[in-house]
Amino acid sequence: MNRNIRTDLAIELREEMKDRQDLEGVNISTTVNEDQDIRTTVIDVLNEEGEKKLGKPKGTYITIESESIREFDEGIHMPLCRELARQLDILLEGADSILVAGLGNRAVTPDSLGPLVVDNLFITRHLKDCGVEGKKIISGICPGVMAQTGIETVEIIRGICENIDVDAVLAIDALAARSSRRLNRTIQLADTGISPGSGVGNHRKAVNQETIGVKVIALGVPTVISVPSIVNDSMDIMADAFNQSHGKALMETFTEEQRYALACNMVEPDLVDMFVTPKNIDELIKRISFTISEAINSMNA
Within positions 209 to 238, which residues make up the interface with a copy of itself, using CB under 8 A? 225, 227, 230-231, 233-235, 237-238
Least distance CB 202 / a copy of itself (angstroms): 14
For residue 239, give every residue at least 6 positions away whose Cβ sits within 8 Å of its Cβ, in sequence order, or none: 247, 248, 250, 251
Secondary element (H or E) of residue 237: helix 227-241
Binding residues among 1-30 for a copy of itself as defined by CB under 8 A: 1, 3
SS3 86: helix
Looking at beta carbons only, is 59 or 143 nearer to a copy of itself? 143
Q: Rule CB under 8 A: choose which of 54, 64, 118, 221 binds a copy of itself.
A: 118
Residue 152's alpha-carbon distances to 104, 214, 219, 235, 266, in angstroms, are 12, 18, 19, 36, 31
Looking at beta carbons only, is 28 or 123 nearer to a copy of itself? 123
Segment near a copy of itself (CB under 8 A), from 35-43, 45-53, 169-177, 270-278?
270-278
Least distance CB 77 / a copy of itself (angstroms): 13
Please provide residue 169's backbone torsions phi and psi, each rounded to the nearest 5 degrees: -105, 135
Interaction of residue 258 with a copy of itself, rule CB under 8 A: no
| Cβ atoms within 10 Å of 158's Cβ, excluding its own | 17
Cross-strand partners of 40: 31, 64
Q: Rule CB under 8 A: choose which of 141, 170, 177, 207 binds a copy of itself.
A: 141
Looking at beta carbons only, is 214 or 227 nearer to a copy of itself? 227
Interaction of residue 109 with a copy of itself, rule CB under 8 A: yes
- In the shown chain, the binding pattern of residues 121 to 140 toward a copy of itself, with x for contact by CB under 8 A and - for none, equals --xxxxx---------xxxx
Looking at beta carbons only, is 17 or 145 nearer to a copy of itself? 145
Q: How far apart are CA 196 and CA 29, in angstroms?
A: 25
Q: Rule CB under 8 A: choose which of 27, 151, 203, 213 binds a copy of itself.
A: 151
Binding residues among 44-73 for a copy of itself as defined by CB under 8 A: none
| Cβ atoms within 10 Å of 88's Cβ, excluding its own | 22
Least distance CB 69 / a copy of itself (angstroms): 14
Please provide residue 121's backbone torsions phi and psi, each rounded to the nearest 5 degrees: -80, 155
Q: How far apart are CA 18 and CA 34, in angstroms?
A: 28
Secondary element (H or E) of residue 138: strand 137-141
Binding residues among 26-45 for a copy of itself as defined by CB under 8 A: none
Binding residues among 154-213 for a copy of itself as defined by CB under 8 A: 155-156, 158-164, 180-181
Looking at beta carbons only, is 30 or 148 nearer to a copy of itself? 148
Residue 114: which of 1, 190, 281, 278 has the closest Cα? 1
Segment near a copy of itself (CB under 8 A), from 30-38, 170-178, 194-202, 241-249?
241-249
| Cβ atoms within 10 Å of 122's Cβ, excluding its own | 15
Looking at beta carbons only, is 90 or 151 nearer to a copy of itself? 151
Q: Rule CB under 8 A: choose which of 241, 252, 255, 257 binds a copy of itself.
A: 241
Q: How many CA atoms lie within 13 A of 137 on its CB side?
A: 17
